[in-house]
Amino acid sequence: MNEHESLKADRNINPMKISPIRPQSLAEIVADRLKAAILRRELALGEALSEEKIAAAMEVSRTPVREALTMLQLQGLITILPRRGSFVFKPDQATLHSLVEYRLQLELLAADWATQRAPEALHSALRQALALMEKARDEDDSFAYATADTQFHEAFIAHCGNPLVIEAYGIAAGRLAAIRSHLAEQLGLHRQKTLQEHHQIARAVEARDADQLRLLLKQHIEAMEPNYANALALLDMRSG
């Protein structure tokens, strides 16, 4: 039996619905590496990027680097300024407000749907993220804490059951993750408080208390805007 016949023989698989596996282009590989470098704090917020240096470091020509930067610009992680060059995204106050506002509305909607449609899976995902947050807190690992924080909140999106909401959240997801990662150290004083808030949110999901969940999420997300603004100011002072 050949591979195509084998697929047909399995009643659970419709070969007409299987997407072909498409290898990544060189530009996509470069974009993924640059994005990872931003999220790992190897590239600073606002840092100027040299196409020539990136190409040399990754042993590629400048063409895929230029294409990769354009891809990341579409994700909001790179700012390309004519005649000035490319820079890692760094939010100003207005951008920060827009990101928090955008995130708040999508996450509240996703939380409603996820709690209705996949409450057990959602609660399990939240508990897993909380365990990682507690471990990172105990080890004073700000980067791991920020990564687990992102995992916690993206659980609502992942379990909402609507691919369009997932797609919409993806517009800002990279920038939100980068903000958490780069400002995690400056937000250290808030870590214990935010961990308690995450536990309260998880308990509201477990109790399927939609009103309490919306209240807690709204308060938690809105409070992060001034925290992020203060952390950015502190980061500027230290780097200046």
- What domains sit in the chain, N to C, each tagged with a CATH number? 26-88 (1.10.10.10), 93-239 (1.20.120.530)
pLDDT digits (tens, 9 = 90+) for 6-59: 433 444 434 344 445 566 899 999 999 999 999 999 999 999 999 999 999 999
DSSP for residue 43 = S
Torsion over CA: 140, 141, 142, 145 (sign): negative
In this structure, are residues 110 and 157 in contact, taking their beta carbons and an 8 Å threshold?
Answer: yes
**Which percentage of the chain shows pLDDT scores above 90?**
76
Confidence of residue 94 (pLDDT cuts 50, 70, 90): very high
Q: How far does the chain reach from its first CA to its final CA, in angstroms?
A: 67
pTM, two decimals, is 0.84
List strands edge to edge, sheet with 85-88: 48-49, 85-88, 78-81
Question: What residue type is 117 in one-letter code?
Answer: R
Specify the DSSP element, H or E, that contains 48: strand 48-49
Please give the torsion angle defined by the CA atoms of residues 207, 213, 219 and 220, in that order, rounded to the nearest 10 degrees.
70
Mean pLDDT calculated for residue range 104-108: 97
Taking 90 as the threshold, does the pLDDT of residue 135 lie above it? Answer: yes
Q: Which residue has the higher pLDDT, 149 or 185?
A: 149
Q: Rounded mean pLDDT of the chain?
A: 89
